[in-house]
Amino acid sequence: MAQVTLWGSLSAAAGGRDKLDIEAKDIRELFRKLAEQYPAFEPLIDRGIAVAIDGTIYRDTWSKELPPGAEIFLLPRLAGG
Amino acid sequence: MRYIRPLSIEDAVGQLAGAVGPAAILAGGSDLLVRMKGGFIEPELIVDIKAIAGLSDITETADGFRIGAAVPCAVLGENAALKKAWPGVVEAAKLIGSKQVQGRCTIVGNLCNASPAADSVPALVAAAAKAVVAGPSGKRTIAVEAVPTGPGRTSLAKGEIIEAILLDKRAPHAGDAYQRFIPRTEMDIAVVSAGVNLTIDEAGVIKAARVALGAAAPTVLLVEEAAEVLTGRKPDEATLERLAKVCSGACRPIDDKRGTIEFRRKVAGVLAKRVATTAYQRAGGK
Amino acid sequence: MNFDPRFSGRNFTSVGTRPIRPDGVDKVTGRARYGADFNMAGQLVGRILRSPHAHAVIRKIDTSKAEKLAGVKAVITAADLPDLTDGDTAMYDILDNSMARKKALYDGHAVAAVAAIDARTARQALKLIEVEYEVLPHVTDVDEAMKHSAPLINDAIFTEGLEEKPVKPSNVCKRTQYGHGDVHQGFAEADMIVERSFKTEQTHQGYIEPHACVASVNADGTADLWVCTQGHFVYRQHCAQLLGLEVSKLRVTSSEIGGGFGGKTHVWAEPVALALSRKAGRPVKLVMTREEVFRASGPTSATSIDVKIGAKKDGTITAAEATLRYTCGPYAGMWAEIGAMTAFACYRLENVKTVGYEVLVNRPKTAAYRAPSAPMAAFAVESAVDELAKEIGMDPVEFRIKNAAQEGTRASYGPVYGPIGIGPTLEAVKNHPHMKAPLKANQGRGMACGFWFNFGGQTCTDLNIGMDGSVSLAVGTVDVGGSRASLSLVAAEELGIAYEHVKAVVADTSSLGYNDMTDGSRGTFSSSMATISAARNAIKVLRERAAQMWDIPVDDVAWEKGHAVAKGATHGNLAPLSLKEIAAQSGKTGGPIAGHSELVADGAGVSFATHICDIEVDPETGATRVIRYTVVQDAGKAVHPTYVEGQYQGGAAQGIGWALNEEYIYGKDGRLQNPGFLDYRIPVCSDLPMIDTQILEIPNPNHPYGVRGVGETSIVPPLAAIANAVSNAVGVRMTHIPMSPPRILAALEAEREG
Amino acid sequence: MAGVAVSTTINGDLVEYLCQPDETLLEVLRDRLGLTGAKEGCGTGDCGACSVIVDNRLVCSCLVLGAEAEGRQIETIEGMAHGDQLHPLQQKFLEHAALQCGVCTPGFLIAAKDLLAKNPSPTEEEIRFGLAGNLCRCTGYDKIVRAVQDAANVMKGA
């Protein structure tokens, strides 16, 4: 069971909750389950969500495993110059 | 659209007078081509005056200097005699645009573009320069301040060309100077500017003065009251403060993208002080 | 990922040297081809008609007269770009921004376009297009736009992120919040509190090369696009989607790019050029004028920010709070959100809260500009931090060191930091001789810190070894400032050959797999990762070939310093085989030798910088002059240190321009007053001193060489560093950027009058 | 609109062309003669990217009409190197990494060449003011100034 923290504009998609417990082995499964439980996440996932695992931000590596006990944050995907 | 390069001033005047649609005079082109590019002017006729004999020369005469209408500002700076006699006029002309623009732009073009912020004009007005106008009805000589009548407007009639600017021979103990305020160090249009021309006596007392301000009103301002403040005095602190106050008071500026009314008023006075000090030093005052 | 991406702490041979860039000679001889330097046979000239109104309904467009003009080959309006975005609102906004559909939303918004045989005919044709507008009230100011009485820009937008669902549409498209702890309690514990409001004006990236492209659409559904862009693969996706083309049938070639800084990360005129070409049946070249660049492309947000920070007497910050309002132009964005994330990223805070509001206004669609949104937030926060240090009586550097984030700190935007460079940059600044240099009258010194995330992303690289042992490296990230040199160094490093034997090119979209654009300081970070991976794949092949040549097991072949080396007692007498020797035999040992890599370069390390700046102020005119400037920034590992310095210096210069003079000035009519380099005042050569740099290298553990992105962070601190310097020079706290002479003089006069 | 026949010298070679009366020298160079080294950054003389030398005067070619080139000597970036021998300024720009995107580089090189021709030993301030008509958005000018200083030293020694 991973505890996932939702930041910024993302918590609105989970009905205002900013912490969720989700059983997932990697980012792909995490996104799939999020979209199942909270359909509002689907367009956000399509648009792009960044996942911070123990402080390192991943934007596109959906195969990245979620280590047990890892601190996981979901952040909006950013634009850069 | 036609482009012509007449060889005589008479031919140029005739072509301009006879033009059916809008006609434009091309010397340096640094204003004309920008206006054409922006679609502000679509001339039917472009008269390039650079091939006209004498228009590209600076001549030193018994009365002073004659600067042809097609002389690029960079050339003014290369003329040692002119620079020595009228350093304020030359430094003003040398402030227009970049090195690239300097190789093309002219003080007559600067004058005829009739921008209140034109750099060379306050210096020319302070220097009591005159313009030689050639037209269909012959030639006339007028004070430079009589040329611009408002932003983008001049007193020149159809077919008229300014063929030269005249500067007097320099009296001893005289000096002029020009400064402008710009936010950067180069490449800007003056937010406000000041030109001062002084003659002093042996004792260092100012005998005659002309003070002109740029970008402070719809046309360059010749501030008579400022000249009165200086005349008969030395530029001590109190005199300079009064000069600043009078100049600030004489301004009728606008708020625009380059500055505010308050800023222009205040800085016009600051510049007048600084420029008067430089002109005084150049006149030999201590 | 098919290789180990972790930092290896190795010693380098090529990486860290400073060779001449591979594209250099072309660029100093005028041969390099930029967006406008390319032509096709039968090419037409495209031009765009733009709205003179800030906000207007487009009632009717009559193009008949223009179509009849001799030499006009196509005239298009939004009707020629039907909506194929299928509910993708971000793409719909890009489409509407390319060509207004129902309303013109800002001065300069495209409403129609022509393709004609030459520029003069095209210009004339634009004048013949008749547009009937119903002019609407407009709003350009961020605070005005938030008022209930403000003209509504899009009645389908309701504020997202509110606790209660709004019942009325609003110009505020989103509210976001970041932070942790309890700021109320934190402020209650504070001995001193500084609270201030700040404003920053809108700026433009100011790249010297205007947007330019040549589009050619064929009747068979294939198309070519030559364009200056930061991401040709992204442009291909956008254009294919908007035009209804098959992605693989649209080949996009990125020209040399004359600056982007975020401003060339999504399409503007390119779909219009393609639509014109499709309609005219001929290639179309479309080059924006400088005026169009300012009116319709770029810019960054204008902002209004409130900051409140509290600290104890000993200098510990107890709470920090900010409310950030950012303009997005007329389309939804996430610019305030990025500001809210970055605002306090430099500090170790128990209690922090930031709230961002995305605000729609009648200005051009906001685009990314080098560490987008971070400089404005840093200006507000770092100004307040300086003021708080002063009130407490602490040195501003010491105050920041005391509160700096470190490994293990929870960032104000959520995650916990790994090894980071904020502390080391501050220590370096503290010990820098610049901090001890004497100052004259009316001069002041300021310093400030800055943060940027840095990105990675999708990346694809091909490395091909020629029969003579030379290496061609095809990358898909556009080279915006020397990355071909740094990537050649990386290939040389990994293979163990000389830099001179590597030639890097940016491949077009038909020659390489998809790459994200060069943004978020990712070019060298991501493509070096892919290059290392590709090189290691090539080395695997090289070892196999050497094993064949020696007729020994491949496991007995190692790769050392550009050579295959036989290992073990049985092969000890075999002379090493060089890459060149193996390549020469490649035709007989299995064909061409290559290494490929497709990966997602994740794990970009965050980046911090601290800047020092000396400013002289003329108290009579408000004029400022930058006397001395120093940049200290963490690069992780500087691959080509000269170009790293260049990034530091360039970002600082852009920040200086933003701080002092650059701004969009709108008239009461909502029209842009200064769409040109004359009155949009970017720094000229004589405005700046030399910009000293100090590169720190705190390795990024997620990159095999420790590389972090370096491009963006350098624009973050200057606004605040200069504001702090002005404050120290003449004793006025400047709260409005740019600190143009009229603003400084007004502040000084207000201070004198008390 | 009547075309103007022009005969001029570009980088030492006699060139003849027909241009429109309102066509700029920059347009002629780029669109008629294929000399795309000069760039249009603004078209109004504010950026210097189109710098060329006409009769030993540095100008913005966007502020010169093509028709005015009659009988003149024009130098562009394409004529700066002698064969495969780079001009010292070109070499020093490469060595100092005085370019990032490179779009302003041709204009800077031409302006710097004109500067050093008129002032072989410029101070840093003279270089900065001498090149103030050329905008660079990438470098912060630091490395450009150093490259010009270095080239000046090399050229004096030569």
Give the CATH number of the domain where residue D110 resides. 1.10.150.120
What are the residues facing C566 on neighbouring strands? C557
Domain match, C682 and C587 both = no
Cβ contact, residue pair C256, D103, below 8 Å: yes
* Residue C249 domain flag: no
Domain match, D18 and D71 both = yes
Residue among D21, D45, D70 minimizing CB distance to B2: D21
* Residue C295 domain flag: no
Pairing of strands B58-60, B130-135: unpaired
Of C569, C601, C633, the one marking the end of a domain is C601
* Residue C338 domain flag: no
Residues 613-652 of C with CB under 8 A from D: 642-643, 645-647, 649-650, 652
Q: Is a pLDDT exceeding 90 seen at residue A64?
A: no
Give the CATH number of the domain where residue D27 resides. 3.10.20.30
Q: How far apart are the first and last CA of chain C?
A: 64
Cβ contact, residue pair B2, D2, below 8 Å: yes
ipTM score over 0.85, yes or no:
yes
User: Is D33 part of the contact surface with chain C (CB cutoff 8 Å)?
Assistant: no
State the pLDDT at residue A14: 83
Q: Strand order of the sheet with strand B221-222? A: B174-181, B192-200, B206-214, B221-222
Q: What is the mean pLDDT of residues B202-230?
A: 97
The Cα B263–Cα B261 span in angstroms is 5
Tell me the domains of chain A and their CATH numbers. Answer: 2-76 (3.10.20.30)
Of D56, D79, D102, the one marking the end of a domain is D79
**What is the token pair recorded at C626?**
């930058």
Domain match, C532 and C430 both = no
Domain match, C596 and C618 both = no
B228: which residues sit within 8 A by CB, 6+ positions away? none
Domain match, D95 and D65 both = no
Q: What is the mean pLDDT of residues B19-25?
A: 95
Q: How far apart are the first and last CA of chain B?
A: 57
Domain match, C531 and C621 both = no
Domain match, C558 and C640 both = no
The Cα C53–Cα C418 span in angstroms is 50
Cis bond before residue C22 (omega within 30° of 0): no
- DSSP strands (E only) in chain D: 4-10, 13-19, 51-54, 57-60, 73-75
Supply the range of the domain harboring residue D143. 88-157
CATH class entry, domain B174-282: alpha beta
Same fold yes or no, B2-50+57-168 and B174-282? no
CA-nearest residue to B266 within chain C is C621
Domain match, D68 and D92 both = no
Task: Tell me the pLDDT tens digit for each residue of D97-126.
Answer: 999 999 999 999 999 999 999 999 999 999
Domain match, C531 and C591 both = yes
Give the CATH number of the domain where residue C441 resides. 3.30.365.10
In this prediction the pTM is 0.97
The answer to whether B67 touches B53, Cβ cutoff 8 Å, is: no
Count of domains in chain C?
A: 2
Helix intervals (H) in D38-141:
88-95, 105-118, 124-130
The Cα B139–Cα D112 span in angstroms is 43
DSSP secondary structure, chain B, as one string: -EEE--SSHHHHHHHHHH-SS-EEEESS-TTHHHHHHTTS---SEEEE-TTSTTTT-EEE-SSEEEEETT-BHHHHHH-HHHHHH-HHHHHHHTTSS-HHHHTT-BHHHHHHTT-TT-SHHHHHHHTT-EEEEEETTEEEEEEGGGSEEETTEESPPTT-EEEEEEEEPPPSSEEEEEEEE-SSSSS---SEEEEEEEEE-TTS-EEEEEEEEESSSSS-EE-HHHHHHHTTS---HHHHHHHHHHHHHH-----BTTB-HHHHHHHHHHHHHHHHHHHHHHTT--
Count of domains in chain D?
A: 2
Of D53, D79, D105, the one marking the end of a domain is D79
State the pLDDT at residue A6: 87
Supply the range of the domain harboring residue C548. 24-32+456-601
Domain match, C468 and C597 both = yes
Q: Which amino acid is at D133?
A: G
State the pLDDT at residue C1: 43
- DSSP strands (E only) in C203-328: 212-217, 223-227, 250-254, 284-287, 303-311, 317-327
Domain match, C593 and C614 both = no
Q: How many Å lie between the alpha carbon of C75 and the closest alpha carbon of chain D? A: 23
List chain B residues with CB under 8 Å of D21. Answer: 1-3, 46
Residue among C20, C306, C37 at smallest CA distance from C183: C306
State the pLDDT at residue C138: 98
List chain C residues with CB under 8 Å of D125. Answer: 686
The Cα C21–Cα C488 span in angstroms is 9
User: Is D58 part of the contact surface with chain B (CB cutoff 8 Å)?
Assistant: yes
User: Is C6 part of the contact surface with chain A (CB cutoff 8 Å)?
Assistant: no
State the pLDDT at residue D2: 74
Of D79, D105, D131, the one marking the end of a domain is D79
State the pLDDT at residue A22: 87
Residues 178-207 of C with CB under 8 A from A: 178, 205
The Cα C215–Cα C175 span in angstroms is 40
Q: What is the mean pLDDT of residues D142-156?
A: 97
Instruction: Tell me A79's DSSP state.
Output: P
Of C567, C586, C601, the one marking the end of a domain is C601
State the pLDDT at residue C371: 97
Domain limits, chain B: 2-50+57-168, 174-282
pLDDT category, D90, cuts 50, 70, 90?
A: very high
The mean pLDDT values, 10 residues at a time, for chain C of 754 residues are: 81 97 97 98 98 98 98 98 94 97 98 97 97 98 97 96 91 95 98 98 98 97 97 97 97 98 95 98 98 97 98 98 98 96 98 98 98 98 98 98 96 92 97 98 98 92 98 97 96 98 98 94 94 98 97 96 91 92 97 96 91 98 98 97 98 98 97 98 98 97 95 97 97 97 97 87
Q: Is a pLDDT exceeding 90 seen at residue A77?
A: no
- Verify C-B touch: 3 or more CB pairs within 8 A: yes
Instruction: State residue C438 phi and psi, 5-degree precision.
Output: -70, 155
List chain D residues with CB under 8 Å of C257. Answer: 101
Residue among C256, C647, C682 minimizing CB distance to D135: C682
Choose from D108, D138, D144, D150 for mutation: most chain C CBs within 10 A.
D138
State the pLDDT at residue C2: 60
Q: How many Å lie between the alpha carbon of C408 and the closest alpha carbon of chain B? A: 44
The answer to whether C447 touches C429, Cβ cutoff 8 Å, is: yes
Of C554, C571, C601, the one marking the end of a domain is C601
Q: Is a pLDDT exceeding 80 seen at residue D67?
A: yes
Domain match, C485 and C576 both = yes
3-state class (DSSP) for residue D69: helix
Domain match, C613 and C591 both = no
State the pLDDT at residue A55: 78
List chain A residues with CB under 8 Å of C413. Answer: 7-8, 75
Q: Which amino acid is at C295?
A: R
Residue among C74, C84, C75, C83 at smallest CA distance from C112: C75
- The domain B2-50+57-168 is placed in CATH, from the list 3.40.50.970, 3.30.465.10, 2.10.240.10, 3.40.30.10, at 3.30.465.10
Domain match, C460 and C444 both = no
Domain match, C621 and C736 both = yes
The Cα D94–Cα C233 span in angstroms is 29
